[in-house]
Amino acid sequence: MALQPNLKPLIIAGSPSAPQTIDVFCDPQWITSARTARRSRSRLTKSSSPLLNQQYGGKVKIIFRNQVQPWHASSTLVHEAGIAVARVAPDQFWAFSLALFAKQDDFFDIPSSDLTVKQIRGKLADLAASVIGADKRDAVLDLLTNKSSPNGGVAVTDDLKYTIKFSRQNGIHVSPTVLFDGLVANEISSSWGETEWKEFLAKKIV
């Protein structure tokens, strides 16, 4: 599956040159997406995982796909923050994403309902700083600051547009949704453990 070159940090496991691809469409504002992220970390993307890092690392890669769910008011903002971190600290994108899933309650509709957009972005920059270092907080926040144009978005808006257009043209609606080599793999569940992933990959990896 295609990936805009500057979004290479969204490859969260496996070699970028691996011929086969698992696309995981997730929204940090959704509970089942968080469950998928946690299980993916322990089963597939953790450095000690033998599945991708040792057995299949050169054969398949996992791409995190930003799946904005606009009925959650902060969804766009948290995805922008992830892309901002991908620019400032590319090797920490997945670590920040996991931190964002862990703290997703802080950005749910009710907790964030009385906050301004600037305040939410400030909280996201603080969370980023806890992962990538306080010295990089301002760089992240700068990327999340509105441009001079009244409706021009922020510095990472164009990258977010790319991820949204990619999702739309592929008809992705539910978060999480997993694609294997470009086709929806409905059999994959957020509850899968190592056994299920081993069986799935053994059948799919060429």
Tokens encoding 205: 């990896």
| pLDDT reading at 55 higher than 80 | no
d(CA 194, CA 185): 17
User: At residue 36, what are phi and psi to the nearest 5 degrees?
Assistant: -60, -45
The residue extents of the domains of the chain are 5-204
pLDDT for the residue numbered 188? 85
| 11's tokens | 């490859």
State how far the Cα of 118 lies from the Cα of 75, in Å rounded to an integer.
Answer: 14
Rounded-to-integer distance, Cα 13 and Cα 17, Å: 11
d(CA 37, CA 176): 9
pLDDT of residue 175: 85
Please give the pLDDT value at position 48.
Answer: 47
Asked whether residue 116 carries a pLDDT value surpassing 90, the answer given is: yes
* Nearest in space to 88 (alpha carbons), one of 3, 159, 17, 38: 159
Q: If pLDDT is split at 50, 70 and 90, which confidence band does 68 have?
A: very high
* C-alpha to C-alpha distance for 164 and 126, rounded to whole angstroms: 25
- To the question of domain 5-204 being in CATH 3.40.30.10, the answer is yes
Tens-place pLDDT, residues 74-114 = 999 999 999 999 999 999 999 999 999 889 999 999 999 99
Look up the pTM and report it. 0.90
